[in-house]
Amino acid sequence: MFSKRFLIAALCAYLAISAQAFGRDRSDDRFELSAGVYLVSFDTNTRIGGLGPGGGTTISLENDLGMDSDETELFALGRWYFAKRHSLGISYLDFDRTGEIVLRRDLQIEDTLFTIGLNVDSFLDYNVLAFDYRYAVFATDKLDAGVVLGLSLIDFNVGVASTTVINDNELIKLEEAEGEEYPVPSFGLDLKYEIVPDVYLRGGFGYLDYSASNWEASLLILGAELQYFPWRNVGFSVGYNRVEIEYDEEKNDPFNVDFTYDGLLGRVITRF
């Protein structure tokens, strides 16, 4: 749905609080841009074809398909403060994961049975393009607290493939893949507190929940961050965030995802 060429800046890979910008920091700066590193850990379960023939199988992408549970991702994000208490943000999160393993148990995926002992390759492409509007309900020199309304466009694709060689030249290939795209409205709260001059503590959460005729999705976001601005327009931060995603589709082409990731992050921030 979204390509890296279309979103070259890879705006906001850590979604929790990066998509929720805070106050103006007593300046007349209109824009905030930042980039950094995210040390992320994954815990992902999915079921494809849960109601079809065979019933499907709940699969751990890390344990069953050999995807790494820990990765390092780069990210960037931006925000526009167009009025004293108002701002608009855009964020983009993209994980491209692959795995390779010899199966230790049978996996039923839609109509295809991947049996124990097969060599399988797998992939997970996950991205979220999020837009949000923030209003500072309470704003002083020390404390800024606001509400955030947003819309997240989620694209989730997962696939498994196996190729078997018989008599050195005969190939039998098994493959199954599933992709889903869905919009999720969001509501969040956040705050920023100046501990001492030029040192800030940020924290916030967001909750997304949406139901349609044949599917439902939810997303919980938690985050905290410590910022330090040794210069007026340049600062640094370290923080932690956690994201929990659930998606269930029980009609037509059943598909279920339970996706959690969290980790430490650090970034460089510029304001102008």
Structural domain includes residue 154: yes
Please give the Cα distance from 136 to 23 (Å, whole number). 7
Structural domain includes residue 188: yes
For 243, the domain range is: 31-271
Structural domain total, the chain: 1
Structural domain includes residue 9: no
Q: Do 142 and 198 touch, CB atoms closer than 8 A? A: no
Structural domain includes residue 24: no
Among residues 153, 133, 219, 124, the alpha carbon closest in space to that of 2 is found at 153
Please give the Cα distance from 187 to 134 (Å, whole number). 10
pTM score of the predicted model: 0.81
Q: What is the sign, positive or negative, of the torsion defined by CA atoms of 170, 179, 74, 222? A: negative
What pLDDT score does 151 carry?
87
Tens of pLDDT along the chain (272 residues)? 434 433 333 333 333 343 333 444 455 789 999 988 899 999 999 887 654 444 567 899 999 999 999 998 888 899 999 998 999 998 888 889 999 999 999 988 877 888 899 999 999 998 888 899 999 999 998 999 999 998 888 888 888 999 877 776 666 677 878 777 878 888 999 999 999 999 999 999 999 887 777 778 888 999 999 999 999 899 999 999 999 988 887 766 677 889 899 999 999 999 99
Widest distance between CA atoms in the chain: 75
Domain CATH code at residue 168? 2.40.128.90
Structural domain includes residue 15: no
Among residues 14, 246, 260, 252, the alpha carbon closest in space to that of 110 is found at 252
What pLDDT score does 217 carry?
82
What pLDDT score does 185 carry?
83
Structural domain includes residue 19: no
Structural domain includes residue 255: yes
Please give the Cα distance from 19 to 134 (Å, whole number). 10
Please give the Cα distance from 27 to 24 (Å, whole number). 6
Structural domain includes residue 20: no
